[in-house]
Each structure stands twice: as structure tokens, then as C-alpha cells.
Homo-oligomer: A and B are copies of this chain.
Amino acid sequence: MKNPFSDLFILDFTHVYSGPYCTMLLADLGARVVKIERPGSGDDTRHYLPFKNGESGYFAYLNRNKESLTLDLKSPEGKRIALELMKKSDVVIENFSAGTMDRLGLGYEAAKAVKDDIIYASISGFGQSGPLCHKAAYDIIAQAMGGLLRLTGFPDQPPVKVGVSIADANAGIHMAFCLMAALYQRDHTGAGQYIDVSMMDTTMSVLENFVMQYTLNGVVPERSGNEHSASAPFDMYETKDDYVAVATGNNTQFSRMQAAMGMDIMSDPRFAENTLRRKNYKELRPILAAWMKEHTTADIVALFDRAAVPVAPVLGIDELVNHPQIRARGMIETQHHPVLGDLEMPGFPAKFSTMQTPVRKAAPLLGEDTDAILSGVLGLDEKTIAALKEKHIVEQHEKG
């Protein structure tokens, strides 16, 4: 069966994390993703750790299955090539500050003028409208403005950001969904469109019930460490040798938990029901914490797993990458990279029964696919390409 994604041509002006995560997912599905990079230095993440032999593992992970074309967008010839490529594109995607692509003459109107049904996608910190649309954002700024930073951390400690750039990733996956929705719409109506995703909006969108606590009851929720507002225990504890996460949502689970611990806690009327355990958790916690501190994480996990009590070790990255579940799911894939060698990286984050999502091609070296794209997609001849290279409108680095 032919893969219908292989007919999709995506012109990708994104850099760093949010956009590249989005287009990685589309490339994994089989779409042709042509990444436009700045001549000379390329995507910033080519210079982000981790490194080996001078190449970045950050870039290599997020840009597998893509092609690279360097293009000087500020030169008239570079801009013309970009517009020629837009003519052939199903999707254009960018994550510059709002207004940048318009100033380059490469915004939605310019793209639509050369390809009427183009789907044009912009990811930005605060969106393409509103008083803050031109404000610059990094992940921590979006976590702070989206309400997430203040909600994370222990109540007696300052707020702490999510340890990874989740505001970026979250905007990227929301855009991947929106792009597929727009492609569905185009297939059924013939119409393209513009999509505007903001990191502030998408962060607010995943705040569970916290916005509703305010709009419904006027309550301003505060951070609560590892605890949950509805259930107890739903927490992390120190063990004899590390930490353990434990969550029970009802009496059945808690009853199995106390049995596994060899204790009777529920006969105390303060702890007889989930709502009471939540209400009296200040008194319940020390009882559980003392027991956890006397046992190793491995022992607690084995014991609670046997009793079907939701439990987990707090995995470090080494334990995660080597975990039997991750390995059984094939979630770590190996791809040979010309500079980095055999490289292990996270695979596509879902399993389809009829669609393949392999890491089939290493991330491109800067400008690696310049000739293939200019000749194969735009039909430029060798002489024209050579002239463009001489003027540094495009640049092609040799394969290592």
C-alpha cells in the first residue's frame, strides 16, 4: 500500500524545538520535509549540546527524516527560490517572531498568491494578534505566562519550571494536530488556510481543572508539590535508597496498599475513605513516609505491583532508556549518522497497525540536500546552482 504521506511536501522554516518537533512527527509519517536553514550556522540547535565529533545530538534527534536546504532569505534570489518552493508545497511552517515572515515577503499572503490552497502554519510565543504578539519568548517565559510555572513546585519553595521545554513541545504537538486537521479540511473542501498557534494559549489549554477552579469558584489554586487535589495518597516519598511515586484513587486500591504494607490504616476513621484521606493527609503522610523510608524502591515497586497498586520508581534518563518496557515497545531506535555514528534516539511516540513510522534517514548535515532540492524540485541546472553557491545564496557542506 502506498503511503499517502509521501505525497506531502512540507516547507519547514522552523528552528530550535517547537516547530522541529512538529515537523519531525510529519516526517516520521513519511512526509517530505525540506528544512530551510540560515547559510553559515543553520538551525541554532546544531550548536546545542550534547555533542560528539562537533555534531549535535539535539539536532540529530529532532531533524531525522528531513532534508536541509540553506537559503539566504534576505537576498532577492533566496526569496525567489523560497516562493518557487512554496508553489510546490502543501504546507509551510515557521516559528519566527510574529511579523518576520511578512517582512521577508514570505508571509501567508505571499504564499497564498503563489499557491492558492497552501496551509501556512505559524508557532509563536504569544500568537499573531493581541498586545503581546511581538513579545519574544523562550520556553521559561511561556511557562511563566501560561500559568504553568507558578503551579509547579513545593508550596514552601519558589515555583519551578518543568525541567524540559514543555511549552515548546506542547505548542509543537498542538500544531501537528492542527496541520492534520487543516489537511483533512483541504481534502474535503479544496481550501487551504492560515494556522496561528501560541505557546501561551497552548500552555493554558493543558492546565487540567485549574482555570475552572478560578472561573467557577474564584479560587486561585497554588502549587502543591507532588500531591493531587482530589486523591490521597497521590504523592512521592523518600525510600531507603531513593524515591517512589504512589497513587491510589479509591478504597479498593488503598485497601490493597495497606495489606501489602502489612498495616491497618483504614480502620482509623480519619483514613477510612479517599475524601477523608485527602482531607487528613497531613496526618496520613508521616505514617506512609515512615514505612517507605524503611524499604527500598525496588522492594516497594515489586510489592505494590503484585498488589495492583499504582506505583513507580522515579526513573532517571539511564533507567528510562534501558527500561524493558521502552525496549519492548521499540521506543529507542538506532540510526546511523555520518558523523555521530550509530545513534540511539526516541522513536515515534505512537504505534499504528497499518502505518510505518521508522527513523529511516539521519538528520541532514547543513545544506546536505541543496542540489537534490534545487535540481529535483525546481529543475534548476548545474550552472544556475553553481552561481547561487558562489553568491552564498545557498551553501552545501560535504557529507562527512
A51 to B301, CA, bound (A): 35
**CB of A353 within 8 Å of the partner chain:** yes
**CB of A181 within 8 Å of the partner chain:** yes
A153 to B51, CA, bound (A): 25
Residue of B nearest to A253 (CB): B136
User: Which residues does chain B contribute within 8 Å of A195, judged by CB atoms?
Assistant: 350-353
**CB of A110 within 8 Å of the partner chain:** no
Contacts A193-B354, A350-B178 given: A50-B213 contact, CB under 8 Å? yes
B340 touches A57 (CB 8 A): no
**CB of A367 within 8 Å of the partner chain:** no
- Selected interface stretch from A72-80, A305-313, A381-389: A305-313
Beyond contacts A57-B216, A161-B225, A170-B170: 15 other A-B pairs, Cβ-Cβ < 8 A, are A4-B185, A57-B213, A140-B235, A140-B312, A141-B247, A144-B236, A144-B315, A149-B226, A150-B314, A154-B160, A176-B177, A181-B352, A211-B320, A211-B346, A221-B317
**CB of A152 within 8 Å of the partner chain:** yes
10 of the cross-chain contacts (CB-CB < 8 Å) are A49-B230, A50-B212, A50-B216, A146-B320, A150-B316, A163-B210, A173-B174, A183-B184, A212-B345, A220-B318
Binding site for B on A (CB under 8 A): 1-2, 4-5, 17, 21, 25, 29, 48-52, 57-58, 60-61, 108, 126-132, 135-141, 143-154, 157-166, 168-170, 173-178, 180-185, 187-189, 191-198, 200-202, 204-217, 219-226, 228-231, 234-236, 238, 243, 245, 247, 249, 305, 308, 310-318, 320-321, 323-326, 328-329, 331-332, 340, 343-346, 349-355
Contacts A314-B144, A331-B201 given: A351-B217 contact, CB under 8 Å? no
User: Which residues does chain B contribute within 8 Å of A153, judged by CB atoms?
Assistant: 153, 160, 163
User: Which residues does chain B contribute within 8 Å of A235, judged by CB atoms?
Assistant: 140
A81 to B211, CA, bound (A): 36
User: Which residues does chain B contribute within 8 Å of A137, judged by CB atoms?
Assistant: 310, 312
A224 to B164, CA, bound (A): 10
User: Which residues does chain B contribute within 8 Å of A164, judged by CB atoms?
Assistant: 148, 151, 206-208, 210
B352 touches A189 (CB 8 A): no
A58 touches B209 (CB 8 A): yes
Residue of B nearest to A311 (CB): B141
User: Which residues does chain B contribute within 8 Å of A181, judged by CB atoms?
Assistant: 5, 29, 180, 352, 355
Residue of B nearest to A319 (CB): B147
User: Which residues does chain B contribute within 8 Å of A323, judged by CB atoms?
Assistant: 145
Question: Nearest 3 CB-CB pairs, A to B?
Answer: A180-B180, A151-B163, A4-B188
Closest chain B CB from A156 CB (angstroms): 10
User: Which residues does chain B contribute within 8 Å of A182, judged by CB atoms?
Assistant: 352, 355
User: Which residues does chain B contribute within 8 Å of A163, judged by CB atoms?
Assistant: 148, 151-153, 210, 223-224
User: Which residues does chain B contribute within 8 Å of A221, judged by CB atoms?
Assistant: 317
Closest chain B CB from A54 CB (angstroms): 12
Residue of B nearest to A157 (CB): B157
A212 to B57, CA, bound (A): 6
Q: Which of A152, A158, A209, A219 has the most CB atoms of chain B within a 10 A radius of its CB? A: A209
User: Which residues does chain B contribute within 8 Å of A216, judged by CB atoms?
Assistant: 50-52, 57, 340, 343
User: Which residues does chain B contribute within 8 Å of A326, judged by CB atoms?
Assistant: 200-201, 204
A189 to B5, CA, bound (A): 11
A170 to B177, CA, bound (A): 12
User: Which residues does chain B contribute within 8 Å of A194, judged by CB atoms?
Assistant: 352-353
Contacts A178-B350, A311-B141 given: A208-B165 contact, CB under 8 Å? yes
Residue of B nearest to A4 (CB): B188
Closest chain B CB from A296 CB (angstroms): 16
